[in-house]
Amino acid sequence: MSSHLPALNDWVASVAKLTQPDAIHWCDGSDAENARLVELMLANGDLIKLNGQTHPNCYLHRSNPQDVARVEHLTFVCTRDPADAGPNNNWMDPAEAHAQMDALYAGCMRGRTMYVVPYCMGPIDSPLSRCGVEITDSPYVVANMRIMTRMGAQALARIEREGSFVKGLHSIGELDPNRRFIMHFPEELSIQSYGSGYGGNALLGKKCHALRIASWQARQEGWLAEHMLIVGIENPRGEIHYVAAAFPSACGKTNLAMLIPPEGYRRAGWKVWTVGDDICWMRPGADGRLYAINPEAGFFGVAPGTSEKTNPNAMAMLNRDAIFTNVGVTADGQPWWEGMSSGAPAKDWQGRDYDSARGPAAHPNARFTVSARQCPSYTDKAEDPQGVPISAIVFGGRRASLVPLVLEARDWTHGVLVGASMASETTAAATGAVGVVRRDSMAMKPFAGYNFGDYFAHWLSFDRPGMKLPKIFQVNWFRKDTDGRFMWPGFGDNLRVLEWMLKRVTGQAGAVETPVGNLPRPEDINTEGLDIAPAALAELLAVDREGWKAEMEAIAEYLNEFGDRTPAALKAERDRIAAGLG
């Protein structure tokens, strides 16, 4: 099999000549093809079948212990001008990067099959979607790409129709950490990955294409590719508002995307609909509103900490047709990870007899891959070719102090500053010291494919005549009291805060204007059935002027890191807030 598109055939032929595979297989995405790949992986040990009674069609993959996470320090953006990549990325000269990768790829697929994987990011017939082709020597990657993207014959037909696609070349190589690189060539719309079989390093449609390359495409074409969940909030009158929200890792993005309303809200008729939990592509519509699609078709979620208590919707979709990576296993072959309320691990993520002295049963970054359609809160609006209209954009991080429970940006420029200056305290999910405040603009620090200064300017460019832009909010579910306890219950109760936001969108709620933004009064948040002291709620909604003055100084330093590429309007907005604080 081959393509009707000469450019695609030529590229596949050139890769085959370089990597020298024993065979080439063009993927069609069919059930039969997937069944053959699963049988192959069961035979060679890449997959282990889990309990067929409790988890039909579920499999476990154990990756190399030195290949368990994204490798930011080995991830490069290769542009002709280093300033285009910006200080927020590792840069390498494109010619140097190609020479380095060609040397690694030479003959690397001998003894292996080369899989050609055509895929579509987004609904197959959406004008907002973009296509790519990943060449890989990993059947595990093929099986995951089938869940995570619209992969196969329909995607190939669209590529042949449009004539353009993102080129992704991946080889697991020898899984040597010293011979591992993920290169992005945005000017060529291409990605090259070598030496890792893990997740975002190997599933090139995910962060590599859908954020790093897509953010570059989006800037050129006038849209936004963002690290955001998309959730629909339906009120008792049946009105649905869609919210896009950006949070760094370990701040509850998936939980918010699959939120279950508190009991009183459920009784009243509130519903929550999941469009996506990780990536959002937004484009202006004819009516001036931003319309969003989730470019992914599945969830690649962190398993540890996911439980009936924290995310019952996620648990409900993981008992069939799922791939688990680096989780523990019970004696009767069920997947297990820390945070689960039942069962006990017999084997750890490396396949050894479980011994708590050796560490957790599941790797802290253990994952599940599952179709989005299996989520109980899934909405078929996720397949709407036009996308869903976004009423509000939310930025959030983990801050023990200073940042209120919620604030509304004064206007779009203020909102862009809120996103650009977003910060979060480090958690055990990242190496290094815990509790350090780190700037992570729009939660895109690891994923923006170009200079943050230019990225901020691109965001500002949407504020133009005829646009009906969403309101922008900042939230902080993680404020702590003097004893170090969380002051806000979080999880489903976050809907109480979203309710106020959406009332602001529709003009049904008031706010207190402060220099840092508009805040609800305590009585504006519905606390019925919630055990929270009035003094605690008042503190959650207070503005610490001295603390904010220091924050504004830190924000000024951060914006200066991007030199003359930082938009003057953003600096002026920071100055305005600082002046208002006195």
Please give the positions annotated as active site.
251
Contact 199, 325 (CB under 8 A): yes
Contact 283, 335 (CB under 8 A): no
In the 8-state DSSP scheme, what is residue 320? S
Q: Is 70 annotated for ligand binding?
A: yes
Q: Is 366 annotated for ligand binding?
A: yes
Q: Which residue has the tokens 């990657």?
A: 141
Q: Count of residues for the chain?
A: 582
Q: Is 253 annotated for ligand binding?
A: yes
Q: Is 171 annotated for ligand binding?
A: no
Q: Is 443 annotated for ligand binding?
A: no
- DSSP notation for 145-181: HHHHSEESHHHHHHHHHH---EEEEEE-TT--GGG-E
Q: Is 363 annotated for ligand binding?
A: no
Q: Is 521 annotated for ligand binding?
A: no
Closest CA to 236 of 525, 578, 499, 540: 499
Q: Is 207 annotated for ligand binding?
A: yes
Q: Which residue has the tokens 């890449």?
A: 46
Q: Is 178 annotated for ligand binding?
A: no
Task: Write down the H helix ranges in 348-449.
Answer: 412-420
Distance CA 228, CA 276 (A): 8
Q: Is 200 annotated for ligand binding?
A: yes
Angle subtended at Cα 398 by Cα 392 and Cα 403, rounded to the nearest 5 degrees: 70
Distance CA 181, CA 139 (A): 20
Q: Is 398 annotated for ligand binding?
A: yes
Closest CA to 144 of 366, 394, 370, 390: 370
Q: Which residue has the tokens 């995570």?
A: 148
**Rg of the chain over all Cα atoms, to the nearest angstrom:** 24
Position 119: which residue type? Y
Classify strands 322-325 and 298-302 as parallel, antiparallel or unpaired: unpaired
Contact 375, 274 (CB under 8 A): yes
Q: Is 494 annotated for ligand binding?
A: yes
Q: Is 241 annotated for ligand binding?
A: no
Hey, is 400 helix, strand or coil? coil
Closest CA to 399 of 248, 582, 553, 575: 248
Q: Is 544 annotated for ligand binding?
A: no
Q: Is 64 annotated for ligand binding?
A: no
Distance of alpha carbon 110 from its chain centroid, rounded? 34
Q: Is 249 annotated for ligand binding?
A: yes
Beta-carbon contacts of 210 under 8 Å, excluding residues fewer than 6 positions away, are 121, 225, 279, 281, 295, 296
Q: Is 168 annotated for ligand binding?
A: no
Q: Is 199 annotated for ligand binding?
A: yes
Q: Is 365 annotated for ligand binding?
A: yes
Position 331: which residue type? A
Q: Is 49 annotated for ligand binding?
A: no
Going by the annotation, the residues of the binding site for Mn(2+) are 207, 227, 278
Q: Binding site membership for GTP: which residues?
A: 250-255, 367, 398, 491-494
Indicate the annotated binding residues for substrate: 70, 198-200, 249, 365-367
Annotated binding site: 70, 198-200, 207, 227, 249-255, 278, 365-367, 398, 491-494
